[in-house]
C-alpha cells in the first residue's frame, strides 16, 4: 500500500520569503504521480502542482515548484515569495492506480498548516 508522510504539522514563514514543505512517500509501483493541494479554511482542495514518476525535470507552476528526489522518495513543495494568502493547509498526495476495477485513487498525507506572517 502507498503511504505519504508529512512530518511538519505546522510551519511559519515571513511574507516574501521562500518556504519548503516536506513530503516523503512509499510505494512499490514504478509508475505513480505526486500532487500538492492547498486547502484554505473554506475547505476546498485547490490543485497546485503535479509530478510524474518518469518526469526528469522538477515541476514548476508559478511560485510553486516541486523538488522531486526519486531515489530518496521525496517530493517537497517550495513556495517562493510567500504571500499572506498562502496561509492554508497543504497536502501532499500520491495517485495509486487500482488494478481491480481500474481507475485510481489519491492517498493523502496528514498535511502541513502554513502560516505566513508580516
Partner 1 sequence: KAGVTQTPRYLIKTRGQQVTLSCSPISGHRSVSWYQQTPGQGLQFLFEYFSETQRNKGNFPGRFSGRQFSNSRSEMNVSTLELGDSALYLCASRVTGVPGNEQFFGPGTRLTVL
Residues that bind partner 1 (CB under 8 A): 33, 35, 37, 42-47, 50, 52, 91, 93, 98, 100-111
Helix (H, G, I), strand (E, B) or coil at 102: coil
Q: Whats the size of the chain, residue-wise?
A: 118
Q: Which helix (H) or strand (E) holds 46?
A: strand 46-52
Least distance to partner 1 from the beta carbon of 92, Å? Answer: 11
Nearer to partner 1, 35 or 68 (CB): 35
Q: To the nearest whole angstrom, how small is the minimum distance from the Cβ of residue 93 to partner 1?
A: 8
Counting Cα atoms < 13 Å in the Cβ hemisphere of 41 gives 4
Host H or E run for residue 116: strand 112-117
Between CA 43 and CA 117 the distance in angstroms is 21
Taking the C-alpha atoms of residue 95 and residue 104, their distance in angstroms, rounded to an integer, is: 7
Q: Minimum CB separation from partner 1 for residue 5, in Å?
A: 12
- Taking the complex as a whole, the smallest distance from the CB of residue 82 to partner 1 amounts, in Å, to 23
Pick between residue 13 and residue 23 the one whose CB is nearest to partner 1.
23
In the complex with partner 1, the residue whose CB is nearer, 11 or 108, is: 108
Nearer to partner 1, 82 or 111 (CB): 111
Amino acid at each position: 500500500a502507498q503511504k505519504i508522510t508529512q512530518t511538519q504539522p505546522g510551519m511559519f514563514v515571513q511574507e516574501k520569503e521562500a518556504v519548503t514543505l516536506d513530503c516523503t512517500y512509499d510505494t512499490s509501483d514504478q509508475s505513480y504521480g505526486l500532487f500538492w493541494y492547498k486547502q484554505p479554511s473554506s475547505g476546498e482542495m485547490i490543485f497546485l502542482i503535479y509530478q510524474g514518476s518518469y518526469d526528469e525535470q522538477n515541476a514548476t507552476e508559478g511560485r510553486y515548484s516541486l523538488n522531486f528526489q526519486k531515489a530518496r522518495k521525496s517530493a517537497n513543495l517550495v513556495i517562493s515569495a510567500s504571500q499572506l494568502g498562502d496561509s492554508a493547509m497543504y497536502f501532499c498526495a500520491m495517485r495509486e492506480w487500482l488494478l481491480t476495477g481500474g481507475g485510481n485513487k489519491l492517498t493523502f498525507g496528514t498535511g502541513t498548516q502554513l502560516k505566513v506572517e508580516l
